[in-house]
Structure 1
Amino acid sequence: MTYYRHHVFFCTNARDDGRQSCDQCGAQEMRNHLKQRAKALGLTGPGGVQISTAGCLGRCELGPVVVVYPEGVWYTFVDQEDIEEILQSHLLAGKHVKRLKLPG
């Protein structure tokens, strides 16, 4: 068993060269929202869910991006409703959100 049931990494990379970056797409705000929701639901801590900030995950052109381990499932998202769907479907029910999934 892994230390966390799910470890969620949000790319929060900020580029200053004109290329798209996850930071420009509100990634930090969505990470904060998911972290708050996971805590409110009592999901955090060992054996639960960990929500983390990551530097560049190398996929900003598809962003914003988030990856959920240990499955290695990559998602994109637009708003809090998408984040809530990832929370409810993947983190709670163990079902991938196909409409938000990116190629592995």
Structure 2
Amino acid sequence: MNDPKPYFEAHVFCCTNRRPDGHRRGSCAAHGSEKLRDYMKARARELGLDGRVRINAAGCLDRCELGPTLVVYPEGVWYTYRSPADIDAILQTHLVEGGRVDRLMLMPEQRELRPEQLG
């Protein structure tokens, strides 16, 4: 039997985990991930991506020090983001055009943000 066609072309999981203030690892929510996730959902609708792309809140994605973070499947590409402009770049470049936003991409071995990722 063949796998069924995916229900969504892409699935975006945005970490919205919140840890207590002062936690050594920090948390995505403390860096505004909830508000930015809401912005991403609204912009995706404006771009006509609803029905094709699903944007969800996620619990801890375990890359707290790099947060806020999100991951796009089926590709498994990870991003950090800090602003609505970063979200716009991810939506347009990755989800509309099929490219990648190199400056925001997180590599598997990455443990700290690069200067261009600090916004």
- Greater RCO, CA 8 A, separation 6+: 1
TM (norm. structure 1) is 0.93
Q: CA deviation at 1:10?
A: 0.4
Instruction: Tell me how many residue pairs correspond in the alignment.
Output: 102
16-25 vs 66-75, which moves further: 16-25
The separation in 2 between residues aligned to 1:88 and 1:39, in whole angstroms, is 12
Q: Which aligned pairs between 1:1-104 and structure 2 lie closer than 5 A?
A: 1-16=5-20, 18-19=23-24, 20-45=26-51, 48-104=52-108
Root-mean-square deviation over aligned CA pairs: 1.0
Q: CA deviation at 1:59?
A: 0.7
The separation in 2 between residues aligned to 1:49 and 1:4, in whole angstroms, is 6
1:24 aligned partner, one-letter code: A
Structure 2 stretches of 5 or more lacking a match? 109-119
Structure 1 stretches of 5 or more lacking a match? none
- Identical positions, percent: 53
The separation in 2 between residues aligned to 1:33 and 1:7, in whole angstroms, is 16
The separation in 2 between residues aligned to 1:25 and 1:74, in whole angstroms, is 17
Q: CA deviation at 1:55?
A: 0.5
The separation in 2 between residues aligned to 1:6 and 1:30, in whole angstroms, is 18
Q: CA deviation at 1:78?
A: 1.1
1:18 aligned partner, one-letter code: H
1:38 aligned partner, one-letter code: A
TM (norm. structure 2) is 0.82
SS of residue paired to 1:61? helix
The separation in 1 between residues aligned to 2:15 and 2:45, in whole angstroms, is 20
2:80 aligned partner, one-letter code: T
Of structures 1 and 2, the larger Rg is shown by 2
